Protein backbone atom coordinates (compact mmCIF):
# COMPACT_ATOMS: atom_id res chain seq x y z
CA UNK A 1 0.00 0.00 0.00
CA UNK A 2 0.89 3.65 -0.07
CA UNK A 3 3.13 4.89 2.71
CA UNK A 4 5.22 7.84 3.83
CA UNK A 5 8.41 7.46 5.83
CA UNK A 6 9.96 10.11 8.01
CA UNK A 7 13.05 8.60 9.53
CA UNK A 8 13.77 11.19 12.20
CA UNK A 9 11.47 11.44 15.15
CA UNK A 10 13.32 14.36 16.68
CA UNK A 11 15.76 16.82 15.17
CA UNK A 12 17.50 19.31 17.45
CA UNK A 13 19.35 22.19 15.84
CA UNK A 14 21.08 25.34 16.90
CA UNK A 15 19.52 28.54 15.62
CA UNK A 16 21.05 29.62 12.32
CA UNK A 17 22.01 26.17 11.13
CA UNK A 18 20.41 24.61 8.04
CA UNK A 19 17.38 22.38 8.36
CA UNK A 20 16.77 19.16 6.48
CA UNK A 21 13.90 16.85 7.34
CA UNK A 22 13.68 13.63 5.40
CA UNK A 23 10.62 12.26 3.65
CA UNK A 24 10.36 9.30 1.33
CA UNK A 25 7.26 7.65 0.01
CA UNK A 26 5.99 4.49 -1.60
CA UNK A 27 3.17 4.29 -4.10
CA UNK A 28 2.35 2.34 -7.21
CA UNK A 29 0.90 5.44 -8.82
CA UNK A 30 3.11 7.59 -11.01
CA UNK A 31 1.59 10.97 -10.16
CA UNK A 32 1.51 11.52 -6.43
CA UNK A 33 1.11 14.81 -4.66
CA UNK A 34 3.47 15.40 -1.75
CA UNK A 35 2.82 17.81 1.07
CA UNK A 36 4.58 19.19 4.11
CA UNK A 37 2.48 20.33 7.06
CA UNK A 38 3.61 22.15 10.18
CA UNK A 39 1.83 21.70 13.49
CA UNK A 40 2.54 24.00 16.41
CA UNK A 41 1.62 23.01 19.93
CA UNK A 42 -2.13 22.62 20.46
CA UNK A 43 -2.91 23.64 16.90
CA UNK A 44 -4.10 21.77 13.84
CA UNK A 45 -1.67 21.14 10.97
CA UNK A 46 -1.10 23.94 8.50
CA UNK A 47 -0.04 23.38 4.90
CA UNK A 48 3.53 24.51 4.34
CA UNK A 49 4.41 23.19 0.87
CA UNK A 50 3.02 20.95 -1.80
CA UNK A 51 4.31 19.59 -5.07
CA UNK A 52 3.26 17.48 -7.99
CA UNK A 53 6.00 18.28 -10.45
CA UNK A 54 9.11 16.15 -10.66
CA UNK A 55 12.41 17.93 -10.00
CA UNK A 56 10.82 21.32 -9.44
CA UNK A 57 11.70 23.26 -6.29
CA UNK A 58 8.77 24.66 -4.36
CA UNK A 59 9.22 27.33 -1.70
CA UNK A 60 7.20 28.97 1.03
CA UNK A 61 8.08 30.97 4.12
CA UNK A 62 11.78 30.23 3.77
CA UNK A 63 11.28 26.48 3.46
CA UNK A 64 11.77 24.58 0.23
CA UNK A 65 11.42 21.07 -1.06
CA UNK A 66 11.87 19.29 -4.38
CA UNK A 67 9.92 16.23 -5.41
CA UNK A 68 12.28 13.62 -6.83
CA UNK A 69 10.30 10.75 -8.29
CA UNK A 70 13.47 8.85 -9.11
CA UNK A 71 14.26 8.51 -5.42
CA UNK A 72 10.67 8.89 -4.13
CA UNK A 73 11.74 11.72 -1.90
CA UNK A 74 10.43 15.10 -0.82
CA UNK A 75 12.86 16.39 1.79
CA UNK A 76 12.12 19.67 3.55
CA UNK A 77 14.93 22.21 3.80
CA UNK A 78 15.62 25.65 5.12
CA UNK A 79 18.91 27.51 4.96
CA UNK A 80 18.81 28.92 8.48
CA UNK A 81 16.70 27.64 11.38
CA UNK A 82 14.82 30.08 13.59
CA UNK A 83 13.53 29.50 17.10
CA UNK A 84 9.98 29.93 15.79
CA UNK A 85 10.47 26.96 13.46
CA UNK A 86 10.22 24.60 16.43
CA UNK A 87 7.18 22.45 15.70
CA UNK A 88 6.04 19.09 14.41
CA UNK A 89 6.46 18.58 10.67
CA UNK A 90 4.45 16.02 8.76
CA UNK A 91 5.05 14.79 5.25
CA UNK A 92 1.92 13.55 3.46
CA UNK A 93 1.07 11.77 0.23
CA UNK A 94 -2.03 12.17 -1.88
CA UNK A 95 -3.02 10.51 -5.10
CA UNK A 96 -4.62 13.10 -7.31
CA UNK A 97 -7.90 12.27 -8.98
CA UNK A 98 -8.13 8.90 -7.32
CA UNK A 99 -10.67 9.88 -4.71
CA UNK A 100 -8.36 8.98 -1.90
CA UNK A 101 -7.15 10.93 1.09
CA UNK A 102 -3.80 12.13 2.32
CA UNK A 103 -1.64 9.62 4.14
CA UNK A 104 0.62 11.15 6.75
CA UNK A 105 4.09 10.16 7.84
CA UNK A 106 4.88 9.70 11.52
CA UNK A 107 6.10 13.26 11.86
CA UNK A 108 9.39 14.87 12.83
CA UNK A 109 9.68 17.13 15.82
CA UNK A 110 12.04 20.01 15.10
CA UNK A 111 13.57 21.68 18.13
CA UNK A 112 15.58 24.82 17.46
CA UNK A 113 17.71 25.97 20.38
CA UNK A 114 19.62 29.21 20.92
Please identify, using beta-carbon distances, which residue of 17 and 47 lies nearer to other proteins.
Answer: 47
For the bound state, the minimum distance from the C-beta of residue 95 to other proteins, rounded and expressed in Å, comes to 8
Closest CA to 89 of 59, 57, 46: 46
Which residues bind to other proteins, rule: CB under 8 A?
Answer: 33, 42-47, 50, 52, 90, 94, 96-97, 99-107
For the bound state, the minimum distance from the C-beta of residue 62 to other proteins, rounded and expressed in Å, comes to 21
Please identify, using beta-carbon distances, which residue of 63 and 105 lies nearer to other proteins.
Answer: 105
CA–CA separation, 25 and 34 (whole Å): 9
Please identify, using beta-carbon distances, which residue of 73 and 102 lies nearer to other proteins.
Answer: 102
Please identify, using beta-carbon distances, which residue of 4 and 19 lies nearer to other proteins.
Answer: 4
For the bound state, the minimum distance from the C-beta of residue 68 to other proteins, rounded and expressed in Å, comes to 18
For the bound state, the minimum distance from the C-beta of residue 80 to other proteins, rounded and expressed in Å, comes to 27
Amino acid sequence: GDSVTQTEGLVTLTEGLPVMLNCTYQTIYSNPFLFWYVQHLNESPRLLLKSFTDNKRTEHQGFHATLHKSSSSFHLQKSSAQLSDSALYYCALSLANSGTYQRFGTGTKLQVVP
